[in-house]
Chains A and B, each alone.
Chain A
Amino acid sequence: MTAATLRVVLYEGAGSRPLDAPVRASALRLLLESGYGVTRVAGGAAAVRAPGAGPLAVLGRFEQAQPFAAEGQTDGRPVFFCNVEGLDPPAMLRGIDELHARAGTSPRTKWKPWFPVIDFSRCTNCMQCLTFCLFDVYGVSKDKKIEVQNPTNCKTDCPACSRVCPEVAILFPKYKGGPINGDEVRDDDLHREKMKVDISALLGGDIYAALRQRSTDARARFSRERDEKRALDERRKCLTKLQQALDIPPEVLAALPSRDQIEAKTARLMSGGGEDPA
């Protein structure tokens, strides 16, 4: 998944005058929050080598007239020059937005980048994450190693797979708490009840079997009208408790596959059979 993105160069090197400090800080923040990467060039530097391969938009208070468009001297990438003398940061952003549209660069994301990141110093390739994930985020590489193949499939704010990882090897960098957010893994984390979830208790319909049993028991004790209400209450309480304990969205809990389904999926992927044809 690669695409050319427009990169902004805030040029304050040779042949330009520096921006006023508040304008520079405000422009940087505005551009970043609008999804643009910025390379700041300063200190008398004349050359710029911004990362990436997409077009560059060079903003500066140039002392001499610049062509509107040019080509990079070493890599041939398109370069646009924008004299920002007298412009405030919102006007700079509007100019960059226009260049972005004109250059046809990849759309800036509105997606919260929520996806699992595997710490391979801890991962044992047990595949529990792959079998647990409902959204086909994980896959198996040609050399039979677990990998994140479809990060954008991940359910935003769902850290469920990291909860089932027995080695605390799955990170969600935007998660609120450690060690799932990438904080150091401590001995306590490996044994903490809240971190570790017995997958067999979550998968294979065990939750629902338990809920059904509760409903059956309740039915024996109460009238039909009250049975249904009580069963629903029981189910809701149970799911709420799990959701709170594990921070797993209820809709994910409610959509867990059966044990047969996950075992079939694992066998298929491990044998190189690809995704479910259904």
Chain B
Amino acid sequence: MPASSPGRILYCHCAYAQVVPVETKTAVLEQLSASGVAFEAVPDLCEMSARRDPGLAEIASGGEATIVACYPRAVQWLFNAAGSPLPSEVTVLNMRASAAPEVAAALGLAPRVETS
């Protein structure tokens, strides 16, 4: 997917486990926050899948989107388990395997300017 058109953005904070590196998810969230783009952020996609949260169906049916979470295979089958299979136009970015700058670049976010 071109970095300039991520579509809707869904960010998962993986709040109930320590499997996504804290520095990665924190940096990605900060860059999203600073970017001025609209996005959805959820505490934990796994928890939403377990209770079949209707929000997953809306995300899955909303057309082009980028999900910032963990392994694409896990995200795909989490949505499937919730009864909301992901369409092919949804891209998954993996914060367990990619560093924050890679994720931000894939989202088309400008590098963060550090200020003292």
Q: Which residues of A contact B (CB under 8 A)?
A: 1-3, 5, 7, 21, 24-25, 28-29, 32-43, 45, 50-53, 109, 111-115, 117-120, 148, 151-152, 171, 173-176, 178, 181-184
- List, in ascending order, chain B residues with CB within 8 A of A171's CB: 73-74, 77
**In the docked arrangement, what's the CA distance between A133 and B10, Å?**
33
- What B residues does A33 contact at CB under 8 A? 13, 15, 43
Are B29's CB and A117's CB within 8 A?
no
Name the one of B53, B71, B78 contacting A2, with C-beta atoms under 8 angstroms.
B53
Q: Which chain B residue shows the least CB distance to A173? A: B74
Q: Please name 6 further chain A to chain B contacts, defined as beta carbons within 8 Å, in addition to the given A35-B43, A43-B36, A181-B96, sorted by A numbering.
A: A25-B34, A50-B40, A51-B55, A113-B49, A115-B50, A120-B80
- Known A25-B33, A113-B16; contact A1-B51, beta-carbon cutoff 8 A: yes
Q: In this assembly, does B110 line the interface, its C-beta being within 8 Å of a C-beta of chain A?
A: no
Residues of chain B lying within 8 A (CB to CB) of residue A173? 19, 46, 70-71, 74-75, 78
Mind listing 6 A-B residue pairs with CB under 8 Å?
Answer: A25-B33, A38-B40, A52-B55, A113-B44, A117-B78, A171-B74
**CB-contact partner of B53 in A5, A34, A45, A120, under 8 A:** A5
Q: Which residues of A contact B41 (CB under 8 A)?
A: 28, 32, 37-40
Known: A25-B34, A32-B15, A111-B16. A181 touches B71 (CB 8 A): yes
In the assembled complex, B59 has its CB within 8 A of some CB on chain A:
yes
Contact present for A183 and B73 (CB under 8 Å): yes
Chain A positions within 8 Å of B50 at CB level:
1, 113, 115, 151-152
Cβ contact within 8 Å between B43 and A36: yes
Whether A29 contacts B29 in the complex (CB less than 8 A), given A109-B16, A112-B16, comes out as: yes
Q: Contacts A52-B58, A119-B77; is A39 near B40 (CB within 8 Å)?
A: yes
**A29→B26 contact, CB < 8 A:** yes
B 47-71 contacts with A by CB, 8 A: 47, 49-56, 58-59, 70-71
Interface SS of A by simple majority: loop
Nearest chain-B residue to A41 (Cβ)?
B38
**A40: which of B38, B49, B70, B78 is its contact (CB, 8 Å)?**
B38
* Contacts from B to A (Cβ < 8 Å): 13-17, 19, 26, 29-30, 32-34, 36-44, 46-47, 49-56, 58-59, 70-75, 77-78, 80-81, 96-97
Beyond A113-B44, A118-B77, A181-B70, whether A3 also contacts B51 by CB under 8 A is yes
Contact (Cβ within 8 A) B40 A117: no
Q: Across the two chains, which residue of chain A brings its CB closest to B78?
A: A117
Beta-carbon contact of A42 and B51 below 8 Å: no
Cβ-defined contact, B40 with A118, below 8 A: no
CA distance A109 to B46 in the complex (A): 12
Please give the distance in Å from B37's CB to the nearest CB on chain A. 7
Min CB distance A259 to B, Å, is: 29
Which 10 A/B pairs are nearest by Cβ-Cβ distance?
A182-B74, A182-B71, A51-B55, A113-B46, A173-B74, A32-B13, A52-B55, A113-B47, A51-B58, A174-B17
Q: Nearest Cβ distance between residue B50 and chain A, in whole angstroms?
A: 5
